[in-house]
């Protein structure tokens, strides 16, 4: 049972790392001269990367929804880890980790919303490719969902 709890803890830490990397890193959309994330855009001019704001044609409301959902996913996942550790010591034997599963479910829902909005709204007519952060966001969708289901199924037993 201890090995299982350690593996679940490592999975949860991996979820947090992937969510933070997807939210912070500047590679949601890439081209040869542009690197865009959910916060800003970098343009390559004369061999130097310059920080610029995201241009006006972007839908600000959708961009703010992606930003808020990504940040909320990180917050819920981190809170879920603290709740998991607290439930390890306070939860009676035979009970399920429902609160931790609920936080992971909220994190999953938030990152699904962020990645889905970004996929549907942005870069429909742009030339380029999705970057590493975008791919990490979809990997985080899978990891948080697996973690959520694991917490709902996991029952605290004696070792």
* Tens digit of each residue's pLDDT (9 = 90 or more) over 92-103: 887 888 999 999
Judged by DSSP in three states, 30 sits in strand
- Residue 33 phi, psi dihedral angles, 5° rounding: -120, 0
The predicted pLDDT at position 159 comes to 53
Comparing 6-10, 110-114, 120-124, 143-147, the range with the smallest average pLDDT is: 120-124
The predicted pLDDT at position 121 comes to 87
- Is 70 exceeded by the pLDDT of residue 58? no
CA angle 154, 152, 100 (to 5 degrees): 95
**Domains assigned to the chain:** 2-153 (1.20.140.150)
* Residues 9-15, mean pLDDT to the nearest whole number: 95
Eight-class DSSP state of 28 = S
- Tell whether the torsion through CA atoms of 117, 118, 120 and 122 is positive or negative: positive
What percent of the chain clears pLDDT 70, i.e. is strictly above it?
96
């Amino acid at each position: 049972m201890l090995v299982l709890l350690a593996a679940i803890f490592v999975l949860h830490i991996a979820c947090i790392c992937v969510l933070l990397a997807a939210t912070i890193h500047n590679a949601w959309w890439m081209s040869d001269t542009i690197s865009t994330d959910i916060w800003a855009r970098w343009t390559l001019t004369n061999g130097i990367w310059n920080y610029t704001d995201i241009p006006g044609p972007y839908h600000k409301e959708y961009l703010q929804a992606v930003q808020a959902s990504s940040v909320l996913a990180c917050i819920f996942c981190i809170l879920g880890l603290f709740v998991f550790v607290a439930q390890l010591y306070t939860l009676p034997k035979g009970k399920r980790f429902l609160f931790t599963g609920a936080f992971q479910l909220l994190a999953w829902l938030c990152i699904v919303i962020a990645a889905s909005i970004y996929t549907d709204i942005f870069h429909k007519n742009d030339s380029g490719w999705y970057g590493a952060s975008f791919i990490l966001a979809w990997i985080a969708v899978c990891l948080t969902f697996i973690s959520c289901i694991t917490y709902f199924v996991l029952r605290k037993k004696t070792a």
